[in-house]
Amino acid sequence: MNILILGYGKMGKIISEIAETRGHTIAAKINIDNRHELDQLDPKAIDAAIEFSQPEAAIENIKWAIERGIPVISGTTGWISKKPEINRYTLEKNGAFFYASNYSIGVNVFFKVNEFLAKLMKETSGYSVSMEEIHHTEKKDAPSGTAITLAQGIIKNSTTLHNWHLAGEKGDSPSSLPITAKRIDPAPGTHIVKYSSKIDDIEISHTAHSREGFALGAVLVAEWIPGKTGVLSMDDFLKF
């Protein structure tokens, strides 16, 4: 299949390499320096677009693809507050938009483990929950999109938590989940969820050893998405 890469940074390069090793053709590799080349492409010759750019470019990139009938898979984080706008645009255009904060299969298993543990802890008193995430220093948004997804899974299954906050930016509140965000090279991504009590601690964690797991997941979704329409997620792809 022909894949368009929107955002040719470190992730875009790995995605391109994995796609080509799986027998796919890269229709174009677009970044801020050559975005004008988009107008030279034939949308009908593109089977899917994989968008890993920057928060300030994501909406424009995604709308460009949807408007031209190209299924788009996005992994850019830091713009999620605007996602309802993209969801509406996708449905209006009868397009296909797939978003995940993390495309790693292992991380998506971890999301489910996190929710299951949160359900168990909902019935257990005496524990407070916190989260820590560690990424490389080039990552601009904090907390990470993965950490926010984990936080949403915890809050959804809690009777006391209603939101999350970045540790150090506001005072602790029993109704807000604290997230500590650290930026340390060359860490590609570690997420730790910890329940603490006076008696013991319960901790689950996921550590990525490279970006290849994220990139492979995005390519697998690109192989799956042709013919699909609507607003899609990893739940649709993995069918957990």
What CATH number did the domain enclosing 69 receive? Answer: 3.40.50.720
Residue given tokens 């150090």 in the structure block:
168
Q: Note whether 44 and 25 are same-domain residues.
A: yes
Which residues, 6 or more positions from 62, have their beta carbon under 8 angstroms from its beta carbon? Answer: 51, 72, 74, 86, 97
Q: Give kind and range of the element (H or E) at residue 101.
A: none
Number of folded domains that form the chain = 2
pLDDT 10s digits, 145-180: 899 999 999 999 999 999 999 987 766 788 999 999
Q: Note whether 37 and 122 are same-domain residues.
A: no
Instruction: Give me the domain span that covers residue 95.
Output: 2-103+212-238
pLDDT 10s digits, 41-78: 999 999 999 999 999 999 999 999 999 999 999 999 88
Catalytic, 24? Answer: no
Q: Note whether 15 and 94 are same-domain residues.
A: yes
pLDDT 10s digits, 93-110: 999 999 998 999 999 999
Q: Note whether 94 and 174 are same-domain residues.
A: no
Q: Note whether 124 and 98 are same-domain residues.
A: no
Catalytic, 135? Answer: yes
Annotated active-site residue in 63, 139, 191, 206? 139
Annotated active-site residue in 24, 135, 191, 206? 135
Quote the mean pLDDT of the chain.
94
